[in-house]
Structure 1
Amino acid sequence: MGMTNTPTAAPVSPAGAADPSRWLRVHHPRASAAARLVCFPHAGGTANAFTALSAALPEDVELLAVQYPGRQDRRGEPCAQDLSELASGVAQALAGYDDRPLFLLGHSMGALVAFETARLLEERGTVARLFVSAARPPAQDWQEPDLSLVGDEELTAGLRRLGGIPEPLLADPEIAAEILRLLRADHRALLRHRCAPDTRVAAPVTVLLASADPKNSLEQMADWARHTAGGHEVAALSGGHFSLLERPGESAPPLTRRIREDLARPAAAAASAAPDAEPLADLVRELMMEGLAGRTPRLSTDLTALEAAAGEVMAPEAFAYVSGTAGSGATGRANRTAFDRRQLLPRMLRGTRRTDTSVTLFGQRLPVPVLLAPLAAQQVAHPEGESATARAAAATGVPMVVSTFASRTLEEVAGAAGDHPRWFQLYLPSDRAVGESLVRRAEASGYGAIVVTVDATHLGFRPAELDSGYSPFLRGTGIANFTGDPAFRAGLPADADATQAVLRWAQISTDPTLTWEDLAWLRGLTRLPLLVKGVLHPDDARLALEHGADGVVVSTHGGRQLDGGVSSLDALPAVRAAAGADVPVLMDSGVRTGSDVVKALALGADAVLYGRPYVYGLGLDGQRGVEHVLRCLLTDLGLALALTGCASLADVGPHLLANGDRR
């Protein structure tokens, strides 16, 4: 496909490359380009397929088009027998192109070649992002027929239906015969391709999906999330299967926007790591300079004071919902007491001018060991709800865990978060079709993990909510992921009103009959990392792992479920011991300050989920309030690490705690 008699572009030959002239073509040389986009053709395609796209790109992006063997000026060479052969050739040809960031783009079959090439190039760390267009994920069965069994007329008719090849070319017997020869040869290589389900690239992946593509759907594209440790997003294009090539003017903007954003990040990171930078003091210095000008912060920097401040501005029933705990509040108090009871031992003169707070979870490097906990119905605190929180999380570099009971759909929150890391928290409904639909939507929207909550199959006895007679859900807030779900809507009458939707939500939203076997069912449903949230007993940690969990979250649900229960921090060491050293263990409940985070890490947590304070910030000042809370927390965390002599999280351990505080 895409064969023409147009002369091929000039080969490219940088110094030190392993004969790139056989593999790479440049249509529009741009010597001053800041980045290169390497494009891989579809089955039967040639480097010429990307001529128009090359012209549509701005001057700061140079396009290198891959030329497979067996066509045009490489017609004398045999076509590749498998896709790994193509990937190996391109990776070697790109050896001399490490002077500028490399972005890879593959169309249809070319997406698989680009994916395999990225895996090879990442041994040198040279892939900034992978774009995949009109292509199902590499471990998925593409359900392609054996074209050697399809006659010429039938195959040509199929090409006409799919588009992408001008009719005059298909009408020319000689050109049409060449197109079919290449198409069949490339399909033989495609049919031989095999990829394990857990095969990943480190680079982020952007899926380019055309709205009228008859071969691919959003649901099929969801599995790309499983093949990257760097995050995944979907960019919509108009048109059909060959939209990328037929509408280059429309395809170029999402490509160049993402390339330019990715190029800006290393520059920003380099600036923050400059020798004269003092990142630990940034917020402190900023606030002190504001003080010299007579200005004080809109919100207190005392993160333990935000609850009282939010209580002054939030509606009483909304504040009762957010702040309330179970029964007498004993578990909530125990969560804070557990942190207060433990003391950190400072260490001096360790040269910790700056600290590395990054952590790797499930193969993905996160900037901080803090994720926003999945708090439901955030619209009770602010009209923008989770969308404002997602923007604040992205602005401060804190990953977000989005609740099933969010007041905005998971797709809306994903849109607000952009390409920032995010996980999806799941309350498994009693209607399994709805549960599966929620998981599939999370996969398609770029969520990097599923966090299934197991400690709320029965609602805790919460006097603050009961005394006010207030439930946001029964008033339609916090059920957006259900009312917008096709499987949920399928269970409603066609003319169902809001009341009927709420009643159905109340019937199926949680399932008190859940057992560990249901976790095994969920494990079989998705390849995303799966965490179990609400574990406090070491035996439950073992059972979670036995039934397919990849990690656990030690949690008391913020003290909102069982009154008089053990605190999360006290339960953490035993759960860590039961899970083993290599299993990600997170914790929440009671975390308020940067020192609290360090104490949790010292007792065995890999990261913490941070809850109520950011919602108080949301209620006090919307997105700006959440950003303020998170900036304060992360500054406090960095300083706590530095003052205990830790240059990175690898230095944190039980030795940071005073004697008797390590249990």
Structure 2
Amino acid sequence: MLNVGTTPIRTVHPRPSAAVQLACFPHAGGSADAFTALAGALSADVETLTVQYPGRRERAAHPCATDIAALAAEAAGHLASRLDRPLYLLGHSMGALVAFETARLLERAGAVAGVFVSAARPPGDDWAEPDLDAMDDAAVVAELRRLGGVPEALLAEADVVEEILRLLRADHRALRGYTCPPGATLRAPVTVLLAGADSKNSAEQVRGWARHTTGGCDTVLLSGGHFAVLAPGSEAGVVLADRLRPAPAGLVRAIYLAGLGGGTPRLTTDLTALEDLARPVLTPDTLGYLVGDAGAGETGRANRAAYNRRPLLPRMLRGADRRDLSVTVLGRRLPAPVLLAPVAAQTLVHPEGELASIRGAADAGVPFVLSTNASYTLEEAAAAAGPQPRWFQLYLPNERALAESLVRRAERAGYSAIVLTVDAPTFGYRPTDLDRGYLPFLHGAGIANFTADPVFRAGLPDDPDDRAVLQHWARVFANPGLNWEDLPWLRSVTSLPILLKGILHPADARLALDQGAVDGLIVSNHGGRQLDGSVAALDALPAVRAAVGDAVPILTDSGIRTGSDVLKALALGADAVLLGRPYLYGLALDGRAGVAHVLRCLLADLDLAMALSGCTRIADVTADLLAPT
């Protein structure tokens, strides 16, 4: 082990209360300063540590390391005392090997939460690095220019170039002398960050990282070249911010610790109690619209009953100390199998409406689906979301030009899927609304996407008053003639994935796929708000999954209130779920913070439910987790 006196660990922004730590290992010739931009892109929940190799900056008086093992041993010796909080490692290029070997050493003392590797081939492969000692200075500088890691202004300074070459050649000697021990693996999951224009590494070359972990391995593609991860504004900041979120179950620990000082949550953690708490803060019209079901409410009650009559049958002694809630849907990784369901006219509930819900979802790391009938435009919603994944729910209007305009706007605003709702070609029979004669859209709520649309506005008379706008909306919105022939047309106007929301019958599921226009399904009865007496969504789920096979993404909603509910839906074949009414109650009670609270509680409940059921990842949640009925 190196014993050079000065600690190699730098803390970029000391955050002793941060939930997680990220230790960053630089590339050959690089220093701890390489990660300054990346550290600035991470949230206050992350304390960023950088490793300074000997021979540079404040450690310039110490000789450079002669091998990777020495660098890893030194780093591990200093990081071993930091395992009281989740610790992730990130290594760039040569630093990936140092991070890998450091993680191997740390796993002898405790758990490493995860390892990120960038611009690096697997440790067991030949990196085919040239012998820089055999190359003249001009050739090495030419290679630096090709990779783009050093600003041209610095390459014009002779003394700077001399120092860079000194460090680079020394580190390359250590790199070329590295040999991965046979069968070396980590327990921690590994995420490979691969830049599409990296001239040194390809997807094929980095694929072998999966051989070096038993915790799972995935690859995230970034734009840019070999040094993309270190560039200001890099997509890597978004990726890491997503992956470094504290474990959802940490919420429970935080609440109990706050309780030592007399603190309690602002809102209840019982998501089934939120409706009763929200009732006093909602107007009678809004309450009726939000909680009202179709007809006598049989479908709404059936949705909850379907979850209640399916008990879990947990397994024990499975070593579920670390859980991974992430899933991949439509080719994109989601941090958990939960999205916000589309709900119309949310300004009825809170002045900031959908914008507060979207920001609350982002705080909890949950994507959202925006309703066609939002109170803010899809462009305003996208601006509030930032890099957060988002889908656009489409009620197909009866004018195709208007439908195409809405879809094109969604594409331009960065929505990554279209959710075509097919179970509401007309409004259901809802006594709570009918008895009050109240429909929010006719009072101007939830029609922002229409009034902002150029095709919709082209159909209005000159200088229209509110009545003319609402009459035009009423003419174009309802589409009782919606049929299977509309799907190929919708497919022809967008390349985005299309999911059908509102499928319950397995024959309809097969028809949807036979059309060749659909990429996924959402098993839903609209939360019981459309056809009273219909089957519960959870009861319909297994037959729909059986009808389409395992390869088709299937989501579900309607009646979900707890983490155990999510677990049951996944066990019966869902890839993810959509949460509806509970987050609206959170919105009513505490705005953005209320939405985030509801989602964090749901994810904590799901995380603990997985632990208590013996599941370490979503793939472990299968039908045998449910007791026979």
Q: Same fold (TM over 0.5)?
A: yes
Aligned to 1:464: 432
Deviation readout 1:213-250 (Å, 9 max, x if unpaired): xxxxxxxxxxxxxxxxxxxxxxxxxxxxxxxxxxxxxx
Aligned to 1:533: 501
Amino acid aligned to 2:362: A
Instruction: Identify the match of residue 289 of structure 2 among 304, 321, 324.
Output: 321
SS at match of 2:251: helix
Aligned to 2:233: 258
Structure 1 residues 402 and 119, CA gap change in structure 2 (3 angstroms): farther
CA RMSD across the alignment: 3.2
Aligned to 2:401: 433
The number of equivalent residue pairs is 449
Aligned to 2:564: 595
Aligned to 2:528: 559
SS at match of 1:305: helix
Distance in 1 (alpha carbons) for counterparts of 2:402 and 2:384: 24
Q: Mean Cα displacement is larger for which, 435-444 or 467-476?
A: 467-476
How do 1:40-55 and structure 2 match up within 5 A?
none
Aligned to 1:25: 145
Please report how far the alpha carbon of residue 267 of structure 1 lies from its aligned counterpart in structure 2 after TM superposition.
Answer: 7.6
Aligned to 1:249: none
Q: Give identity over the alignment, percent.
A: 57
Please report how far the alpha carbon of residue 27 of structure 1 lies from its aligned counterpart in structure 2 after TM superposition.
Answer: 12
Q: Mean Cα displacement is larger for which, 495-504 or 347-356?
A: 495-504
Distance in 1 (alpha carbons) for counterparts of 2:295 and 2:328: 37
Please report how far the alpha carbon of residue 458 of structure 1 lies from its aligned counterpart in structure 2 after TM superposition.
Answer: 1.6
Please report how far the alpha carbon of residue 266 of structure 1 lies from its aligned counterpart in structure 2 after TM superposition.
Answer: 3.2
Equivalent pair of 2:249/2:607 in contact (CA under 8 Å): no
Distance in 2 (alpha carbons) for counterparts of 1:474 and 1:359: 39
Distance in 2 (alpha carbons) for counterparts of 1:601 and 1:326: 27
SS at match of 1:350: coil
Aligned to 2:300: 332
SS at match of 1:608: strand
Equivalent pair of 1:361/1:584 in contact (CA under 8 Å): yes
Structure 1 alignment gaps of length 5 or more: 1-11, 32-50, 56-94, 105-114, 127-200, 207-254, 273-278
SS at match of 2:478: coil
Instruction: Identify the match of residue 250 of structure 2 among 274, 279, 282.
Output: 282
Structure 1 residues 467 and 299, CA gap change in structure 2 (3 angstroms): same
Aligned to 2:603: 634
Deviation readout 1:598-645 (Å, 9 max, x if unpaired): 001111111111100001100110000000000000000001111110
Aligned to 2:98: none
Equivalent pair of 1:386/1:408 in contact (CA under 8 Å): yes
Please report how far the alpha carbon of residue 497 of structure 1 lies from its aligned counterpart in structure 2 after TM superposition.
Answer: 2.5
Deviation readout 1:167-225 (Å, 9 max, x if unpaired): xxxxxxxxxxxxxxxxxxxxxxxxxxxxxxxxxx953669xxxxxxxxxxxxxxxxxxx
Amino acid aligned to 1:588: D
Equivalent pair of 2:194/2:203 in contact (CA under 8 Å): no
Structure 1 residues 295 and 501, CA gap change in structure 2 (3 angstroms): same
Distance in 2 (alpha carbons) for counterparts of 1:306 and 1:496: 41
Instruction: Identify the match of residue 388 of structure 1 among 356, 368, 375.
Output: 356
Aligned to 1:621: 590
Please report how far the alpha carbon of residue 482 of structure 1 lies from its aligned counterpart in structure 2 after TM superposition.
Answer: 0.7
Instruction: Identify the match of residue 607 of structure 1 among 576, 586, 590.
Output: 576
Instruction: Identify the match of residue 465 of structure 2 among 497, 500, 511.
Output: 497
- Is 1:203 matched with 2:224? no
Please report how far the alpha carbon of residue 124 of structure 1 lies from its aligned counterpart in structure 2 after TM superposition.
Answer: 4.8
Distance in 2 (alpha carbons) for counterparts of 1:375 and 1:507: 21
Aligned to 2:387: 419
Distance in 2 (alpha carbons) for counterparts of 1:450 and 1:387: 19
Distance in 2 (alpha carbons) for counterparts of 1:363 and 1:102: 16
Aligned to 2:6: none
Distance in 1 (alpha carbons) for counterparts of 2:395 and 2:431: 23
Distance in 2 (alpha carbons) for counterparts of 1:331 and 1:27: 61
How do 1:103-122 and structure 2 match up within 5 A?
121-122=202-203
Structure 1 residues 271 and 658, CA gap change in structure 2 (3 angstroms): closer
Structure 1 residues 257 and 22, CA gap change in structure 2 (3 angstroms): closer
Structure 1 residues 404 and 271, CA gap change in structure 2 (3 angstroms): closer
Equivalent pair of 2:420/2:500 in contact (CA under 8 Å): yes
Aligned to 2:546: 577
How do 1:86-97 and structure 2 match up within 5 A?
none
Amino acid aligned to 1:566: V
Deviation readout 1:237-269 (Å, 9 max, x if unpaired): xxxxxxxxxxxxxxxxxx96622x734753884
Please report how far the alpha carbon of residue 297 of structure 1 lies from its aligned counterpart in structure 2 after TM superposition.
Answer: 1.4
Equivalent pair of 2:328/2:334 in contact (CA under 8 Å): yes
How do 1:6-405 and structure 2 match up within 5 A?
25=145, 30=150, 121-124=202-205, 203=221, 258-259=233-234, 262-263=236-237, 266=240, 269=243, 272=246, 279=247, 281-405=249-373
Distance in 1 (alpha carbons) for counterparts of 2:593 and 2:287: 19
Distance in 2 (alpha carbons) for counterparts of 1:474 and 1:205: 46
SS at match of 1:423: strand
Amino acid aligned to 2:531: L
Please report how far the alpha carbon of residue 416 of structure 1 lies from its aligned counterpart in structure 2 after TM superposition.
Answer: 0.9
Please report how far the alpha carbon of residue 580 of structure 1 lies from its aligned counterpart in structure 2 after TM superposition.
Answer: 1.1
Please report how far the alpha carbon of residue 290 of structure 1 lies from its aligned counterpart in structure 2 after TM superposition.
Answer: 2.1
Aligned to 2:475: 507
Equivalent pair of 1:325/1:561 in contact (CA under 8 Å): yes
Equivalent pair of 1:280/1:354 in contact (CA under 8 Å): no
Please report how far the alpha carbon of residue 270 of structure 1 lies from its aligned counterpart in structure 2 after TM superposition.
Answer: 5.7
Equivalent pair of 2:289/2:433 in contact (CA under 8 Å): yes
Structure 1 residues 351 and 29, CA gap change in structure 2 (3 angstroms): closer
Deviation readout 1:441-498 (Å, 9 max, x if unpaired): 1111111111100000021000111112222111111011111111111111231233
Please report how far the alpha carbon of residue 355 of structure 1 lies from its aligned counterpart in structure 2 after TM superposition.
Answer: 0.9
Distance in 2 (alpha carbons) for counterparts of 1:293 and 1:564: 50
Amino acid aligned to 1:324: G
Distance in 1 (alpha carbons) for counterparts of 2:625 and 2:433: 39
Q: Mean Cα displacement is larger for which, 603-612 or 115-124?
A: 115-124
Structure 1 residues 118 and 607, CA gap change in structure 2 (3 angstroms): farther
Structure 1 residues 294 and 280, CA gap change in structure 2 (3 angstroms): same
Deviation readout 1:100-158 (Å, 9 max, x if unpaired): x9897xxxxxxxxxx676997344569xxxxxxxxxxxxxxxxxxxxxxxxxxxxxxxx
SS at match of 1:533: strand
Equivalent pair of 1:122/1:202 in contact (CA under 8 Å): no
Structure 1 residues 595 and 102, CA gap change in structure 2 (3 angstroms): closer
Please report how far the alpha carbon of residue 387 of structure 1 lies from its aligned counterpart in structure 2 after TM superposition.
Answer: 0.6
Aligned to 2:442: 474
Please report how far the alpha carbon of residue 510 of structure 1 lies from its aligned counterpart in structure 2 after TM superposition.
Answer: 3.0
Distance in 1 (alpha carbons) for counterparts of 2:551 and 2:481: 31
Structure 2 alignment gaps of length 5 or more: 1-29, 31-93, 95-126, 131-138, 157-174, 177-191, 208-218, 225-229
Aligned to 1:83: none
Please report how far the alpha carbon of residue 341 of structure 1 lies from its aligned counterpart in structure 2 after TM superposition.
Answer: 0.5
Equivalent pair of 2:238/2:387 in contact (CA under 8 Å): no
Structure 1 residues 496 and 284, CA gap change in structure 2 (3 angstroms): same
SS at match of 1:290: helix
SS at match of 1:452: strand
Amino acid aligned to 1:346: P
Amino acid aligned to 1:266: L
Instruction: Identify the match of residue 517 of structure 1 among 465, 480, 485.
Output: 485
Structure 1 residues 29 and 583, CA gap change in structure 2 (3 angstroms): closer
Structure 1 residues 575 and 295, CA gap change in structure 2 (3 angstroms): same
Distance in 1 (alpha carbons) for counterparts of 2:352 and 2:200: 40
SS at match of 2:391: strand
